[in-house]
Structure 1
């Protein structure tokens, strides 16, 4: 006889047992950012608050267990639970480390993240979270043998567990309905922290919304767009539109910040409009919105995909170029000439030290820009040129990568992408260094524009959204817009309009100077650009043209 004949047979597990154990593990441990956030709420202080959080935790476990019970089939249960555990572990890290929530906008950001952005998010804390909350329990449950059961009985047990879990959750909710309703109404973002239900729910919403979009090309916008210059014999206009990345207005010394983050721009007679608001709190939300003529509310309510400002400018006959040093234009530049900063414009290679590991500092946007300008259609250039530059700017969490070693006025800086592990002053130093470097890039762009004697030149810099730097334990961006802190929606809006260009454009600079505290938003961007480019169309709204009120002949 073999020794194995005397060994006790291995315990066989019901799929439902694994489901509810996993629900308990994820509900209690992988939701630690949710419990941390709730316990910090002023309404949930004291013994009563702790009791409510424990009740809410039981509701989360019951809900996840109920839903997963429907998938408790022998061939399905283990892959599903492994996916849930790994997703919950990753989401727990990012919610806990940066204060984010897993709403549909954040899922879009995740889906559009490129390799360079993903690399900046890797850390030992992420690895530890994946290992402890995901890999270890996944390995344990994968090794559990499953007990056989006829499928009719399995179906009955699964449905019974589903119904029981829902009944338990509803019963718990009704036992403290007033507190639950008040908390969810006051802090709606908490629903997007239930892990891993929130990430999967948001992914489903994104998938459904993407399939709602009609097939075919985007709807035509500004079919009547035409170039109509005030002086047909004057020089063509050259506008550089800098779509700044992750810059918050509060850290610009041009707006009253106490540190000299804009020393060069301060000497170039730029106009900084101090009360500008963004369309969203992420690039994926803001970029398409700010290039739409509809404004934020109209953009959110639109029926389907539409053309944008760049299409209107090109239809009017202007030369348009999108030059990127980011993860892409989110579809905005698909129908106009576009390039990436890593792609050399001509035979001149990028200078050594400007790019490393496939990622470039923003000064690469200006390398051989004359060649890029001359490569545009000559006939279109005679009407006017709009260059859109999309920099890395202050994209986090690796702020220290956004500025070169020789241009770091604020030290010591946080050299980690695990921002919560650095002293906050070092995080701010690294971020402010990125703003100071953006100041250098913008100043060099203006110097380049001054050399373009064949054009009437101007520059407009607007950030897509702001950034949290540890205020209220929040980092980065992407908080749902309705509850987003001002740090994520208050953005810089800077205009360089030299006197000679202002005169030819018919704009009174003293009038503009008096408008620096005018409340404006991304809604105004497309219409201000249409005005600067002298493009006429029925979509143009003069009340959203920043320069219109200061023109000699409105």
Structure 2
């Protein structure tokens, strides 16, 4: 292999720290100085010291990994992965905490491909792959004696600590003040943020004692209607936010179809359990509230679908969004493959109308009372334009690209609103299907999204921001319910009461567990009446 140039070990590690500080950590430096511009008084020395502290900290952290045979592959990997993290942070303000690592690990290839575009490929080549290649072309001169190598490393680390200590002595209060008021800064430093989060994820997932499996509703009993069985469609949306629903006050007619279906009730104040599918879906089906939710416990526990199934209801899960995140693993499941339906799929993704394909035949195989859960792809970004067919391009011009930050705000919102309107069309089609079955079944549809989405507000795009920092756009979600006259009569539901509650009362994913059990008239010690959003409107 040709040698580009020679460099001693200690200067090389310092050079790596400088490159990481000014190249890959450009987003955190921008954020830091943006914070300073909004402060009333800023010391010049404090502002100047920031990049020096960052370089010193990185030099200190990097030095233990400067071992022969480890250094080049280790830092080459950091360059490539750090480049992708840097791009996501700079363009979308994505924060790489443990939940985000979980989202990445659980993302399927089709979903991952939707994030690729010319901008990210060019960024990866220039800031990740090229530096990694250059690193392999450098001849590193290591100290001749092993003890000299250890000494030089310790001296370099000591110098870094001395610089940090000196800055702290002068500007500790300034750093402490900025840190207290901007708690995300320490989660933005590359590569510490994603390396730490990945280690935590791996530790919690593979190297900790598994929770004992917990069954729920072993005492469950259900009062079934003797005249007609019940048929329920449970629709789990993807990435829909409440503020873009015309039924919730949005000035565009994004609910053009369900508003014509009759008696569709929209709940205006509903909030999600998480800001990403990997958290929200298992959380909303679990018996835990958002504040007490534990992913390991949820993975090793039954959910409300298991309880409903225990009472004799036939269940089916249909998935068009890359997996059920574990909630359907004890249920009959149909996972839509993008290659199965050329009419509604393009080989990588499918329009949600595919959910109703073969539904009559599939339900015919189910006996008695039935619950069909649909996990739709909805408004999953960033390729919003791929979520609806050409005939549903209602709001124009659209953003027909994945690097959505390069579209105008008008194009981006138009495209997202088209996804909401198309989802509304699909839900309306499901309601029409249920109406066809209303002579044989008491029918009901419940739709709820898993989380919301940011569309450039405050510089944020997509979703996955830590919940305590997430904007309302990522947590305020839509929920709708439709009931047939037979279902309303059988459950003794006061629709006026339910409409009033939907307009005024706050709800969340925490209500879903007991509400579904309650609407099925299931009694169990795991049911909590105060969380059942239907209970107060049943006579």
| TM-score with structure 2 setting the length | 0.94
How big is the shift at 1:386? Answer: 1.6
How big is the shift at 1:341? Answer: 2.3
Deviations 1:79-124 (A, max 9, x none): 1110111111111111111111111111111111111111111011
Q: Does structure 2 retain, via aligned residues, the 8 Å contact 1:15–1:73? A: no
SS at structure 2 position matched to 1:322: strand
SS at structure 1 position matched to 2:7: coil
How big is the shift at 1:10? Answer: 8.4
Say whether 1:336 aligns with 2:331: yes
How big is the shift at 1:451? Answer: 1.1
Distance (Å, rounded) in 2 between the aligned partners of 1:549 and 1:65: 61
Deviations 1:49-85 (A, max 9, x none): 7764543332222222111100111211111110111
Distance (Å, rounded) in 1 between the aligned partners of 2:391 and 2:4: 64
SS at structure 2 position matched to 1:188: coil
* Residues 49 and 293 of structure 1: CA distance in aligned 2, closer, same or farther (over 3 Å): farther
Give the match for residue 236 of structure 1: 229
2:349 corresponds, among 359, 364, 375, to 359
Distance (Å, rounded) in 2 between the aligned partners of 1:335 and 1:110: 24
Give the match for residue 358 of structure 2: 368
Give the match for residue 148 of structure 2: 153
Give the match for residue 4 of structure 1: none
Say whether 1:258 aligns with 2:251: yes
Give the match for residue 526 of structure 1: 513
2:160 corresponds, among 153, 165, 175, to 165
Q: Does structure 2 retain, via aligned residues, the 8 Å contact 1:226–1:317? A: no
Q: For 1:444-455, list aligned pairs within 5 A.
A: 444-452=429-437, 453-455=439-441
SS at structure 2 position matched to 1:106: helix
Deviations 1:340-394 (A, max 9, x none): 12389xxxx74x4301123110000111111121223x2xxx2x22211111100
Distance (Å, rounded) in 2 between the aligned partners of 1:494 and 1:538: 27
SS at structure 2 position matched to 1:514: helix
Give the match for residue 536 of structure 1: 523
Give the match for residue 218 of structure 2: 223
Give the match for residue 16 of structure 1: 10
Say whether 1:546 aligns with 2:533: yes
Deviations 1:387-422 (A, max 9, x none): 111111000001111111111110000111111111
Q: Does structure 2 retain, via aligned residues, the 8 Å contact 1:74–1:146? A: no
1:186 corresponds, among 181, 184, 190, to 181
Say whether 1:129 aligns with 2:119: no
2:474 corresponds, among 481, 485, 488, to 488
Give the match for residue 425 of structure 1: 410
Distance (Å, rounded) in 1 between the aligned partners of 2:302 and 2:52: 48
How big is the shift at 1:223? Answer: 2.1
SS at structure 1 position matched to 2:128: helix
How big is the shift at 1:157? Answer: 2.2
How big is the shift at 1:288? Answer: 0.9
Could you tell me which runs of 5 or more consecutive residues in structure 1 were left unpaired when the two chains were aligned.
1-8
2:484 corresponds, among 490, 498, 502, to 498
Distance (Å, rounded) in 2 between the aligned partners of 1:315 and 1:343: 32
SS at structure 2 position matched to 1:462: strand
Distance (Å, rounded) in 1 between the aligned partners of 2:44 and 2:386: 41
Distance (Å, rounded) in 2 between the aligned partners of 1:214 and 1:375: 40
SS at structure 2 position matched to 1:339: strand
* Residues 164 and 242 of structure 1: CA distance in aligned 2, closer, same or farther (over 3 Å): same
How big is the shift at 1:313? Answer: 1.7
* Residues 414 and 45 of structure 1: CA distance in aligned 2, closer, same or farther (over 3 Å): farther
Q: Does structure 1 retain, via aligned residues, the 8 Å contact 2:6–2:141? A: yes
Distance (Å, rounded) in 2 between the aligned partners of 1:467 and 1:527: 26
Q: For 1:370-519, list aligned pairs within 5 A.
A: 370-376=360-366, 378=367, 382=368, 384-452=369-437, 453-516=439-502, 517-519=504-506
Greater Cα shift, 172-181 or 318-327:
172-181
Q: After TM superposition, which residue ranges in structure 1, 4 or more long, deviate above 6 angstroms?
A: none
Say whether 1:281 aligns with 2:266: no
Distance (Å, rounded) in 2 between the aligned partners of 1:435 and 1:10: 54
